Amino acid sequence: MKGTLLDINSLTIKHLSRLIASREISCIDVIDATIERIQRLNPKLNAFITILDDQARKEAKHADSLIKQGKYLGPLHGIPVSLKDLIYVNGVKSTSGSKILADFVPNYDSTVTRKLKKAGAIIIGTNNTHEFACGITNINPHYGSSKNPWDPTRMSGGSSGGSAVAVSSGMSLASIGTDTSGSIRVPSSLCGIFGLKPTYGRVSKYGVMPLAPSIDHIGPLARSAWDIGVVLEAIAGYDRQDSSSARVPVPSYLNEISSSERKSNNSKDSNNRFKIGIPKQFFFDMIHPDVMEVFREFIDRLPGSGITTISNVDVDGTDKIIETWRAIRLGESAATHNEWMISRRQDYGEDVRKMLEKGQEISAVHYINALTKWRHEIRDAFLKAMVEYDALLVPTTIIPAPFLDQKEVEVEGKTIEVYFSLNRLTTVFDITGLPALNVPAGLVDSKLPVGVQLVGRPFDEARLLKIAYTYEKHYNLSEQFIPTPIM
């Protein structure tokens, strides 16, 4: 038993939950193995800011007692889950990766935390993040930078970088991150895991430190599409405490995935079950050749999993993407931090302070045009493009993970800042609020993961998960994307 648990990094929630439900392993064994792994790997990878080892062990013992009483709570029962260190847990320090909130301890649970606990999950700790989630590299001057488990000399990506590192290296079975510019999908791409930015309003933001409220999203990171589905099912839904929360019913994502799996197994011809569109504009204007090669290989493999309808599509209005995102993201984050920028400016890291200063320069006219006009035009263009398709498919990042000290990268003869190279292809789905799922696609130079994004209609996360699971199951992705250098 202990030998199995020591190899917990090779397991998914789907596999582990069955072992827990059948009492082949105990919740306390799972938590002990997880804590041992964190203690061994976190000093090298810096994925956690706070580790809740004693609290997690107590909760695991309680979880075991419930199972013995016949009160199994479902697939998350006894599963260790971590949270980005700006998602509140009652009585647990929540720093937002900052010096300003270094001693802040919330006296209530966020809605996401409360729902996870209700589903039986055990909060194992809080994950390192770019300061105030205000960046995409996870280079943090206050708590140190999280390091990519595939190559610790490289960035994890951010701002949910600690979450991605924890999941990729097996220090957590799943994590909850935030995404305002690509902060779930970028580190998921660079660390070789699944990461979902749900539709805006699908998951409550109550009890989460805001950055740019009009485009802040909360979502799960995990090692399989099935795992993403079970976590999303637990945390999604309307919340009256969040004014942006949507009154839209939450389907059973696991039933949707299972139904798709049964149809695939029983159908004599499972081809053409999903139609995929690939936008012609914007996404391939600037991309590293090695990443483009991985993307092409991913497309070539799609028919092998029964997805054979793949076509190029036109998307209008892409020339306004960056300008629209910049006005909303920088303008709202400057407003969020206005008081601290007056009273505690010197306590921000240099990169975050400079970004907030840029936000202070955004004009009201520019912001209002972006918020009330441009982003709706861009959203309508993407919805029009996917009318005949189940999803759109684009790369997640234009480069693999840069080195930790790298400031600029060369892409097709052009020198660009790392920041803008990492979030170039993700911000559009924050400003439009459309759901986007990172799927591990392949390795650059056989050593650095990069992903692709499946993009869907509003509140149609189930379809994205079904497509991803179809592909994942055929190619055993959760077994392929396990980093080995520091394991």
Distance CA 89, CA 52 (A): 11
Digit-by-digit pLDDT tens for the chain (487 residues) are: 444 444 677 789 999 999 999 999 999 999 999 999 999 999 999 999 999 999 999 999 999 999 999 999 999 999 999 999 999 999 999 999 999 999 999 999 999 999 999 999 999 999 999 999 999 999 999 999 999 999 999 999 999 999 999 999 999 999 999 999 999 999 999 999 999 999 999 999 999 999 999 999 999 999 999 999 999 999 999 999 999 999 999 999 999 998 866 665 655 445 448 999 999 999 999 999 999 999 999 999 999 888 878 999 999 999 999 999 999 999 999 999 999 999 999 999 999 999 999 999 999 999 999 999 999 999 999 999 999 999 999 999 999 999 999 999 999 999 999 999 999 999 999 999 999 999 999 999 999 999 999 999 999 999 999 999 999 999 988 888 999 866 6
Contacts 24+ apart (CB under 8 A), 55-58: 55/123, 56/31, 56/80, 56/122, 56/123, 56/124, 56/125, 57/28, 57/31, 57/32
User: What is the reported pLDDT for 436?
Assistant: 99
Q: Are strands 174-179 and 194-197 parallel, antiparallel or unpaired?
A: unpaired
176 has which bridge partners? 83, 220
pLDDT at 72: 98
Q: What is the dihedral of CA 405, 408, 410, 415, to 10 degrees?
A: -160
Q: Which long-range contacts (CB under 8 A, 24 or more apart) does 62-66 make?
A: 63/27, 63/120, 63/122, 64/26, 64/27, 64/28, 66/120
Residues belonging to the active site: 84, 159, 183
Give the closest residue to 184 by CA, choosing from 206, 162, 152. Answer: 162
Helices 13-21 and 225-235: crossing angle in degrees, nearest 10, is 70
- The secondary structure of residue 251, as a DSSP letter, is P
- DSSP conformation class of 214: T
Q: Residue 127: what are its φ and ψ, rounded to 5°? A: -100, 145
**How many CA within 13 A on the CB side of residue 148?**
26
SS3 helix, strand, coil % of the chain, rounded to 5? Answer: 45, 15, 40
Q: What is the pLDDT of residue 4?
A: 44
How far apart are the C-alpha atoms of 430 and 197, rounded to whole Å?
Answer: 8
DSSP 45-76: H--EEEE-HHHHHHHHHHHHHHHHTT----TT
CA–CA distance, 169 with 420 (Å, rounded to integer) = 26
> Looking at the domain covering 2-480, what would its CATH class be?
alpha beta
Per-residue model confidence (pLDDT) at position 258: 85
- Phi then psi for residue 173, to 5 deg, are -75, -25
pLDDT at position 8 is 74
Predicted TM-score of the model (pTM): 0.96
Parse the chain into domains and list their residue ranges: 2-480
In this structure, is the dihedral angle defined by the CA atoms of residues 317, 322, 327 and 328, taken in order, positive or negative? positive
